[in-house]
Amino acid sequence: MRRLVSHDPGFAAAFAAVVADRRESDADVTQVVAAIIADVRARGDAALAELTERFDRHKLADEAAWRIAPEACREAYDALEPGLRDALNLAAARIRAYHLDQLPAGRDHTDTAGVRLGARWLPVDAAGIYVPGGRAAYPSSLLMNAIPAKVAGVARLVAVTPTPGGTVNPLVLAAAYIAGVDEIWRLGGAQAIAALAYGTARIAPVDVITGPGNAYVAEAKRQVFGVVGIDMVAGPSEILVIADADNDPHWIAADLLSQAEHDPAAQAILITDDAAFADAVAAAVELELASLATEPAARASWDAHGIIITVAHLDEAPALANALAAEHVELAVADPDAVFAQIRHAGSVFLGRHSPEAIGDYVAGPNHVLPTGRRARFASGLSVPDFMKRTSFIAMSPKALAAIGPAAVALAKAEGLPAHARSVAVRL
């Protein structure tokens, strides 16, 4: 873990290096993924079977080995401990309610020139969602990806999830039942993304692919973008906590580790205006790490990428936060709204001392699939419109064409496109 102080002479250069640190896939990953995608495109199901046996130790011997039946999802849901089933249902209900408000409205109006203009929103025909199943399996991720797709009206929703050693996570199956997933294939890695994008004899292709994964999954989504739409190219998880000294250091330590435990490449950053509080949080992190079952990943993340920045005054924090453009930003301060007003770039912001980032991962409602790697400067979290497309429309009456057509003719001639000009002119 590094300690930076904003008024130290070398701070600007050190902070610039933090901002520039991508922590993402390298050239080797790019080449491996390209080879896997090419193999799946060339050999289809045979390539999927070989790669799944090699990487997941799961033999795709029959239909049950390839695909999880809907009945298995219902059985997993019914078998859940009641408290856990209630928790999944609560999460799903809150996620659905939040995303229903994101449904875009169409537009249809006639302007002052008599031209009818508008736009119509429709869902994509099919969407694919990737559900991790390696280091950890996340039913919450399935809900966050599947529910917006269903709210959008997607008719065919396909999930892919690796099942290492043939083991299926019952929570993932239960979440698939709640969300209404139509197909679940026991596939993971770059090969699963290739199958969704290009299709095979068994698996029909989709139009959009979303969902988090490791570096190989992220790189595969990058490489198939354009053939299909994707939510984003996601890198390792990030959390930035802006906190004053009036917080319990153990709360803040727990918040930092909530993202560090995801992956050794994850990053947790604290900005505070109190050096003694910074020391207390650093000590609390060590205590918290000792009790975590995920301590190996969390410690690797904290040791390699954890940072505590001490500033002279918290007024400095928003500018630093905007430069970092972090996936998650917690504002554990006395007046979080005042600080929030100055935050321009963040995937999701958590306001106040009782709003830990982890609540957003499960039951708050907003989507937890968020931009990483400073992409919050130009990208947003997953939403309903990511599973839809907008088609504009135009209707011209003779009077409307007479009003604006001559300008179109003039512009077409100026651009040296006489057929464009004539297409309009013959109607005038």
pLDDT for 401 equals 98
Return the minimum-mean-pLDDT range out of 131-145, 304-318, 380-394.
131-145
CATH number of the domain within which 170 lies: 3.40.50.1980
Q: What is the pLDDT of residues 255-309, one digit of tens each?
A: 999 999 998 999 999 999 999 999 999 999 999 999 999 999 999 999 999 999 9
**Whether residues 288 and 325 fall in one domain:** yes
**Are residue 216 and residue 310 in the same domain, yes or no?**
no
Q: Are residues 183 and 264 in the same domain?
A: no
pLDDT of 25: 64
Q: What is the spatial distance between Cα 295 and Cα 264, in angstroms, rounded to a whole number?
A: 10
Which residue type sits at 355? S
- 190 and 258 co-located in one domain: no
Question: Does the pLDDT of residue 23 top 90, yes or no?
Answer: no
Structure tokens at 412: 């077409």
**Alpha carbon distance 72, 369 (integer Å):** 26
Euclidean distance between CA atoms 164 and 300, whole angstroms:
24
Q: 39 with 314: CB under 8 angstroms?
A: no
Residue 348 lies in a domain: yes
Residues 92 and 170 in one domain: yes
76 within a domain of the structure (yes/no): yes
Which two three-digit tokens encode residue 403?
């009003």
- Is 414 within the bounds of a domain? yes
252 shares its domain with 292: yes
* Domain-terminating residue out of 230, 265, 289: 230
179 and 56, same domain (yes or no):
yes
Q: Which two tokens stand for residue 197?
A: 């994008």
pLDDT grade for 20, boundaries at 50, 70 and 90: very high
Q: Give the whole-angstrom CA distance, residue 321 versus residue 307.
A: 13
pTM score, whole prediction: 0.93
Please give the pLDDT value at position 315: 97
Reported confidence tier of residue 136, pLDDT bands at 50, 70, 90: low
The answer to whether 327 is a known catalytic residue is yes
Please check the confidence at residue 103 and state whether its pLDDT lies above 80: yes
Same domain, 222 and 249: no
Asked if residue 378 is part of any domain, the answer here is: no
89 and 220 inside one domain: yes
313 is catalytic: no
89, with CB counted inside 10 A (0-12, 13-18, 19+), is: middle
Domain annotation covers residue 355: yes
Nearest to 428 by CA among 402, 408, 407: 402
Look at residue 253 and tell me if it is in a domain. yes
CA dist 139 and 132 (Å) reads 9
pLDDT at res. 234: 85
Domains of the chain: total: 3
Instruction: Looking at the structure, tell me whether residues 258 and 222 fall in a common domain.
Output: no
Residue whose C-alpha is closest to residue 59's, from 129, 135, 137, 163: 163
Which residue in the list 58, 262, 305, 328 is annotated as catalytic? 328
Say if 380 falls within a structural domain. no
Pairing mode of beta strands 328-332, 348-351:
parallel
Mark which of 200, 230, 260 sits at the end of a domain.
230
Decide which of 230, 250, 274 is a domain's last residue: 230
One domain, residues 197 and 294: no
Greatest alpha-carbon pair distance for the chain in Å reads: 80
Q: Which two tokens stand for residue 198?
A: 């290009």
Per annotation, catalytic residue among 219, 261, 327, 330: 327
Q: Is residue 198 part of a domain?
A: yes
Mean pLDDT of 173-194: 97
- Residue 27 is predicted with a pLDDT of 72
Give the sign of the dihedral formed by CA 141, CA 145, CA 146, CA 148.
positive
In a shared domain, residues 202 and 293: no
The single residue listed with the structure tokens 């294939």 is 185
Structural domain harbouring 300: 2-24+235-364
Residue listed under structure tokens 């070398």 = 10
